[in-house]
């Protein structure tokens, strides 16, 4: 029962993390305008994402432009695009693997085989977390370095946007969920092994002591 609860918790955490990865991938708020001047009233501010750049006016109007050329993008942006898409695709594949090996499905027979399949799904989820964590940290590091660069004008300074924070939350959920799935699979395997070897008691023969005490006379 405990392993079943771990499996459900792991599945829920991983599904939530996968959805947040997709949300972070699509949001244009990886980089946002930093308000460093004394005057907080600005005419417009900028959002930069993996797929587009948006300019939001003070009147509420927003204009977005999709990145036309992939080759014209920076290396960090190209790497972030590729790894985030790989992470989202891997999480979808991990969901299919985990559902196939779950206890409440009949896709695969045998408890031990199901446990190994669920464990493989958990490992895939943790790999998905690593794939999305690398570009998040690299982009955040680049933003911080540019922010404290004295050669960059104050009007061009950017700061970490909401999409990166959402991606970090998704990374934590994927890691926790994958670990829970692996723990649930190992728990079910241990229970299976313990039940496969029952304790055997040897039956004693009655009267064996009396036969040993018999004396044969010639």
Q: What is the pTM of this model?
A: 0.80
Cα of first residue to Cα of last residue in the chain, in angstroms, is: 69
Helix, strand or coil for residue 217? Answer: coil
Mean pLDDT of 167-179: 95
Domains of the chain by residue range: 2-29+73-196
Is 188 in contact with 111 (CB distance < 8 Å)? yes
Mean pLDDT of 191-210: 48
Mean pLDDT of 77-92: 94
What CATH class is the domain 2-29+73-196? mainly alpha
What pLDDT, on a 0 to 100 scale, did the predictor assign at position 105?
75
Mean pLDDT of all residues belonging to the chain: 82
pLDDT digits (tens, 9 = 90+) for 1-18: 677 788 889 999 999 999
- Confidence band of 199 (pLDDT split at 50, 70, 90): very low
How is the beta sheet containing 44-48 ordered, strand by strand? 62-66, 52-57, 44-48, 31-33, 158-160
User: How far from 7 is each of 1, 2, 118, CA to CA, in Å?
Assistant: 10, 9, 8
pLDDT digits (tens, 9 = 90+) for 18-60: 999 999 999 999 999 876 555 555 667 888 999 999 988 877 7
- pLDDT of 173 higher than 90: yes
> Residues with Cβ < 8 Å from 53, sequence gap 6 or more?
28, 46, 47, 64, 65, 67
Strands (E), 96-194: 158-160
What pLDDT, on a 0 to 100 scale, did the predictor assign at position 41?
57
What pLDDT, on a 0 to 100 scale, did the predictor assign at position 62?
86
Is 171 in contact with 136 (CB distance < 8 Å)? yes
């Amino acid at each position: 029962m405990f392993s079943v609860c771990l499996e459900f918790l792991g599945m829920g955490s991983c599904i939530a993390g996968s959805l947040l990865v997709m949300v972070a991938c699509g949001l244009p708020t990886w980089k946002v305008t930093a308000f460093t001047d004394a005057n907080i009233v600005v005419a417009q501010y900028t959002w930069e994402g993996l797929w587009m750049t948006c300019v939001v006016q003070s009147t509420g109007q927003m204009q977005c432009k999709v990145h036309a050329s992939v080759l014209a993008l920076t290396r960090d942006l190209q790497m972030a695009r590729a790894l985030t898409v790989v992470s989202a695709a891997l999480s979808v594949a991990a969901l299919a693997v985990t559902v196939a090996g779950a206890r409440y499905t009949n896709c695969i027979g045998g408890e031990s085989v199901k446990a190994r399949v669920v464990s493989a799904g958990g490992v895939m989820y943790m790999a998905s977390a690593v794939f999305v964590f690398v570009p998040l940290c690299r982009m955040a590091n680049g933003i911080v370095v540019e922010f404290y660069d004295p050669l960059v004008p104050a009007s061009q300074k950017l700061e970490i946007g909401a999409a990166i924070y959402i991606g970090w939350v998704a990374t934590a959920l994927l890691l926790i969920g994958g670990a829970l799935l692996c723990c649930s699979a190992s728990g079910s395997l241990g229970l299976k092994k313990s039940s496969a070897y029952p304790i055997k008691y040897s039956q004693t023969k009655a009267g064996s002591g009396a036969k040993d005490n018999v004396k044969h006379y010639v």
